[in-house]
Structure 1
Amino acid sequence: MSTLLDVQDQADSLDRAAAAFLELRPRLFGIAYRMLGSPAEAEDIVQETWLRWQNSERSAVANPAAFLALITTRLSINAAQSARVRRETTVGRWPAEPVDTGDGPAAGAERGEAVESALLLLLEKLTPAQRAAYILREAFVYPYEQIAEIIQLTPANVRQLVSRARKHLSVPRREPIDIGEHRRLLTTFLDAAQRGNVTALEDFFAADVAGPPEPAVLKGAA
């Protein structure tokens, strides 16, 4: 009896996963298409995202839109870089990574690395303002006006930032990153995506875009 109930629970869970994915599918396709410029390649990315979503620990994901958008971004970046390497016949930049769609601890670890790798690439390729605008818009579906309030810019500027971020993600430019910053972004993002703590994410981006405070000037200093 318990086995039948387990099977039914799994079927219900998969139905809910499919419903959530289908609702977000047009947005995921748009992310992949803007980064790759090919409907066929974008469709492949969306299908791969679905496989990962099927085999993920969905009960631990409070924000499916953020989770799926980030995985789609990471897969699209890999695809774009892999295609560029093949075209230019260069070696050692961004090799395509093997995809493990199986279940179990190994797959869970790989999915965790997927999120970590995607955020790492955003840190390497985007400015703080571009990164904030891109993640809040693409992963958390914030309106431009709300993003503008968070990072103290106009909605028009935010639109430009998101557009530039999409372009920069498909080029090989990489900047050195701070490991501590990467860890803070990863922790804050996962907290927002899995537990819904978007306030902390907003505060993180607001401070990141504003930059470090100016050092205090001592009285009497030259």
Structure 2
Amino acid sequence: MKFYESGDSSKPVIFLFPGTCCLYSSFDHILDRLHSYFYTVTVSYFVSLLIQRKRIHIDHGIIGSSDMDEAGRLVAKIKSSMVVPFMYKMIHTGALPKFMQKKLNKTDEVKKELYNGFLNMFGIGKGGNPWIAKQSIYNQFYSDLVTKVQHGIDVPGTTIHVFYATKMGRKYEKRYWTYFKNPDIRRHNMQHEELFCCHSAEWVEEVGKAVEGDR
């Protein structure tokens, strides 16, 4: 694990954690705006072939399951075995499979912007990351599926702010209320990660408002 620090160190510190199999560079497009409010510390899970995801414990509360049984873990292993080779090739080479690139080229500009934002998180189109081990990707993907997460999390003095993309459906909102006791849910009529990928100024403004409200 490595930390990349930037900005004015006299300002409040904000830690930025990439999503599953995403790179720390996925935050590059919002760093300048964030520096208006914060000193940023971006976390990189993928450091070298010697540092594997299995040595790092991070709970992803929305993805993980708190009641995963043995059958569920078996399904998670099967899913990981199917997805990881595909993900590894994309991250390793930094390129989409030809059939996916053709499909992307045919989409309208609005969807293309969102898809390209997603691809940016994985480093697609940036030359590839041949130093990232396949086992690192497997460990991170699998752990997100099976990590046990407490219900009704309530840490004194801590507020959980959720940017909820309502187009993903009500089941996601239900998860927030399951895992956290009193989440601050901020609704946006968008798709998953659309606010972060396509509306960076608004995303940063929301983060700033959330922190100001906690003071």
Q: TM-score range by the shorter chain?
A: under 0.3
Larger gyration radius, structure 1 or structure 2: 1
TM-score if structure 2 supplies the norm length? 0.26
TM-score if structure 1 supplies the norm length? 0.25
- Structure richer in strand, relative to its length: 2
- Structure richer in helix, relative to its length: 1
